[in-house]
Structure 1
Amino acid sequence: MVRLTRVQRQERTRAAVLDAARTEFAERGYADAKIDRIAERAELTRGAVYSNFPSKRALYLAVLVDSLDAPGDGTAGPPGGPAPTWGAPATGAAEPDAAPAVPTELDGALGAFARVWLERLPLLGDSPAGAELRLRGAAGLFDDERGRGALAQVTWLEALLLGLALEAHAPDARRVRRVRLAELVLTLLNGAGRLAGTAPGFGDPFDVARACRHLAGLDLDDAFDPPHLPFAVPATAVREGWEPPGGPPDEITGRPADLGADGVVAVLGTGRLRAAEEAVRAARPGDRVTVAVVTADPAEVGRLVRLRAGDMSGCLRRAFAPGAWPRLRLVLDEDGAVAAAAGVTGPGDDTEAAVRVRAGEIVARADGRGAGHAVASIDGTRV
């Protein structure tokens, strides 16, 4: 008789709870699902469910996260390649069958992304509860200020990731900001998803994809000029040790994020994710920019960020070749290890701090509004 270790028993219990919850949510929806029924389906106690997931909302989000394509499952580019750096040319094609070729025109890039995103649309025979699971949406899931605020911030982060991919697909247009275009595309796609959930079969997804392509022709006069940046506190030159945790995955590439490399690390709470673009835009050619996301509520808000960031990254890996993936690394710092290495104490939803790393040392740091921009603006070879 094989005896399971404590960790193996925990993993088996968690898998049983997720499987039972997936069935319960698919049959009854989030609102009508009951923890007691989930425990009964899993042949466990109510306490066993809550020992793994502190709330029904946390469990629902875990089910949605579990439905995502795992990085490295064949949707990403070839393993072992160099991690992208902001400012590097968008060259290099994917290995055969690893990812589609980068579209040569902006409308083609939009169409490729839209087709991948639209695969989640509910089918005509799906139940309302099953349709919600298929859409992986979070509409109505959060009715508190923290959750709604985090949802807005992570949606801005999604738009940044898509916008950077659209900017990178044409090297001669790298300086053209595409984030407003990305916001418009996500508005159209999410609207189509909500309508498909309430009126299954209405609308043609191929028409929606074509509409996304036509958005490429809009002149949105897009520019990045946040009014608070001129008033941000400048970065401070320091000499401090840098001992980051090893092996946290980059949500975009699916590969381990090498946090020991030179570059900028921005630690952002889930209420300040929009500030990620400040570090990206200020970064110098060759800089590696890493955003480490922290939260005071990893079970719910943290899983929401993992869901939305993982969903967007999965779409980008399928729609674009690695040369056009966002020149940014995204780490979900649920245990605060990256924040601690950066000297950030008590990280929470409103955290905004950044450090510049060079040769294994922190050579500059900043805290508060505009921290990422302040640190990224410094020439790392001169501090």
Structure 2
Amino acid sequence: MVRLTRAQQQERTRAAVLAAAREEFAERGYTDAKIDRIAERAELTRGAVYSNFPGKRALYLAVLVDSIEHAGMAEASPPDLAEATGAFARIWLERLPLTGDTPAGGRLQLRSPAGLFDDEPGRTALAQVTRLEALLLALALESCAPHRTRLVRLAELALTLLNGAVHLADTAPGFGDPFDVVRACRHLAGLDLADTWDPPHLPYVTPARRVRDDWEPLAELTDQITGRRVGFDADGVIAVLGTGRLEAAEEAVRAARPGDQVTVAVVTGDPDEVGRLVRLRIGDLAGCLRGVFAPEAWPDLRLVLDDRAAVASAVGIPDPDDATEAAVRIQGGRIFSRACGRGAAHAVAASGGSTTTRSGGAG
């Protein structure tokens, strides 16, 4: 008999719970599902379920995250903005339920967190992660625009239409034609939305503080956009953002200098639920982006989920929460500048670096 290690046994138990939970949620829906029945399906105790997931909502989100199916890797990006917007919509709408799906099974297929979060932290995180989704889609679309104009408003409009289609697929099955939605998204690309980047608070942000602090490169984490493992030993900007401040990611991206490597580390005080919500939404969107855009058109941004606050601690934030916003610039193996509080990501990205430090001289 092959003896399993403790880690292997835990992984097997977790997999059994997820499989049983998916069956329970597909048959009965989130509201009527019971942890006791999930434990019985998995041939485990109720305690074994709770040792892996703190509650039903966390388990449901884990099932949704586990069900994400990424599209194949695109070999070439669409030739123009309209084609790119339509292609993204087409892949996004592949999640719509099929005719024979049960209502509960259809909701799993939609991977929608609608109705799960009625508390303020959850609603705030959902609003902020949607802003982040729009930024990531916009950065990819901007690679197809002739003048590299800002396209966040176009991305927001497309996501509004697509999420509306998902909502109607749940509440009014059979309503509307997905192909019409795809065509509508293509036409959105032709609208003049007068999109500009001029937040009124940025001119008043306190400049980043120049420092010469030690920097210890961290263990690799998974970049949620590319799906690859990435390290933290290269020069660039690292922004640590709580789930209530994800919109500040654009402040770092727009202020960054050419060639800057920008990394956003997402932190939360609730990794089991809010953290899984972010993982679900960003993982789902990134999978769609990878199916539409070639790697050279992917957002020039690294996004990692700092569930254990390792990045936050290295940056100097020992107890991050959902309102955290802090940033540092790494250069020559040291922390070259830092900022904390509202506008920190912009302040550090705009601070630039020192050419003398890059060449090994004094900063």
Task: Please give the TM-score of this superposition, normalised by the length of structure 1.
Answer: 0.91
Give the AA of the match of 2:295.
P
Of the three residues 147, 162, 170, the one matched with 1:173 is 147
Task: Give 1:377's aligned amino acid.
Answer: A
| 1:196 Cα deviation from its structure 2 partner | 1.2
Paired residue secondary structure (1:217): coil
Aligned mate of 1:336, from 309, 318, 321: 309
For residues 126 and 353 of structure 1, the distance between their equivalents in structure 2, rounded to whole angstroms, comes to 45
The match for 2:203 is 230
Contact 1:128 1:198 in 2 (8 A): no
What stretches of structure 1 of length at least 5 have no aligned partner?
76-97
Alpha-carbon distance in structure 2 between the residues aligned to 1:341 and 1:265: 11
Equivalent position SS for 1:194? helix
**Alpha-carbon offset, residue 100 of structure 1:** 3.8
Q: Any idea what the Cα deviations from partners look like across 1:178-214, whole Å, max 9, x if unmatched?
A: 0011000000001011111222222211111000000
Q: Confirm whether residue 253 of structure 1 aligns to residue 222 of structure 2.
A: no
The residue aligned with 2:128 is: 153
1:105 aligned residue: 80
SS of aligned partner of 2:345: helix
Letter paired with 2:231 = D
**Separation (CA, whole Å) in 1 of partners of 2:285 and 2:100:** 26
Task: Read off the aligned partner of 2:100 and give its amino acid letter.
Answer: G
Map Cα deviations across residues 126-165 of structure 1 (whole Å, 9 max, x no partner): 1111111001001110010000000000000000000000
SS at match of 1:173: coil
Task: Give 1:232 deviation, angstroms.
Answer: 1.2
1:201-220 to structure 2, matched below 5 A, reads 201-220=174-193
- Structure 2 length-normalised TM: 0.96
Q: Percent identity?
A: 72
Q: Post-superposition shift, 1:381?
A: 2.3
Residue 74 of structure 2 aligns to which amino acid in structure 1? A
Task: Supply the AA of the counterpart residue of 1:23.
Answer: E
Q: Is the 8 A contact 2:29 2:104 kept in 1?
A: yes
The residue identity in structure 2 corresponding to 1:212 is: C
> 8 Å contact 2:267–2:305 — kept in the other structure?
yes
Structure 1 position 288, deviation (Å): 0.4
Aligned match of 2:104: 129
Q: Deviations over 1:220-271 (max 9, x none)?
A: 1111111111121110000111113221011101111221111100000000
User: 1:95 is matched with which residue?
Assistant: none
1:277 counterpart (246, 250, 265): 250
How many pairs are equivalent? 356
Partner of residue 296 from structure 1, selected from 238, 245, 269: 269
How far, CA to CA, are the matches of 1:257 and 1:40 in structure 2? 40
Structure 2 residue identity aligned to 1:55: G
The code of the aligned residue for 2:6 comes to R
Matched with 1:54 is 54
Q: Is the counterpart of residue 8 in structure 1 residue 2 in structure 2?
A: no
**Shift in Å, 1:376:** 0.5
CA shift, 1:360, in A, is 1.0
Alignment of 1:84-99 (within 5 A): 98-99=73-74
Moved over 3 A (4+): none
Mapped to 2, the partners of 1:235 and 1:69 lie a distance apart of 41
Q: Match for residue 142 of structure 1? A: 117
User: In 2, Cα distance between the equivalents of 1:173 and 1:300?
Assistant: 40
Kept after mapping to 2: 8 A contact 1:244/1:338: no
Aligned to 1:378: 351
* CA deviations over 1:77-110 (Å, ceiling 9, x no partner): xxxxxxxxxxxxxxxxxxxxx4142112110010
SS in 1 for 2:222: coil
Cα deviation for residue 169 of structure 1 reads: 2.4
- In the TM superposition, residue 327 of structure 1 has moved relative to its aligned partner by 0.6
Whole-angstrom distance in 2 between the partners of 1:65 and 1:199: 24
Q: Is the 8 A contact 1:264 1:355 kept in 2?
A: yes
Letter in structure 1 aligned against 2:58 = A
Number of the residue aligned with 2:30: 30
2:282 matched to 1:309? yes
Structure 2 counterpart of 1:145, which letter? E
**Counterpart in 2 of 1:89?**
none
CA contact (8 A) 2:225 2:303 kept: yes
Indicate conservation of the 8 Å contact 2:82/2:186, yes or no: yes
Structure-2 residue corresponding to 1:190: 163
2:138 is the counterpart of 1:199: no
Q: CA RMSD in A?
A: 1.1
- 1:234 counterpart letter in structure 2: P
Q: Work out whether residues 217 and 231 of structure 2, in 8 Å CA contact, stay in contact via their aligned partners in 1.
A: no
**Residues 288-322 of structure 1, C-alpha deviations (whole Å, 9 max, x = no match):** 00000000000000000000010010000001111
1:146 partner SS? helix
CA contact (8 A) 2:275 2:307 kept: yes
Amino acid at match of 2:159: L
* Separation in structure 1 between the aligned mates of residue 303 and residue 123 of structure 2, nearest angstrom: 21
Q: Gaps (5+ residues) in structure 2?
A: 356-362
What is the CA-CA distance between 1:378 and the residue it aligns to? 1.4
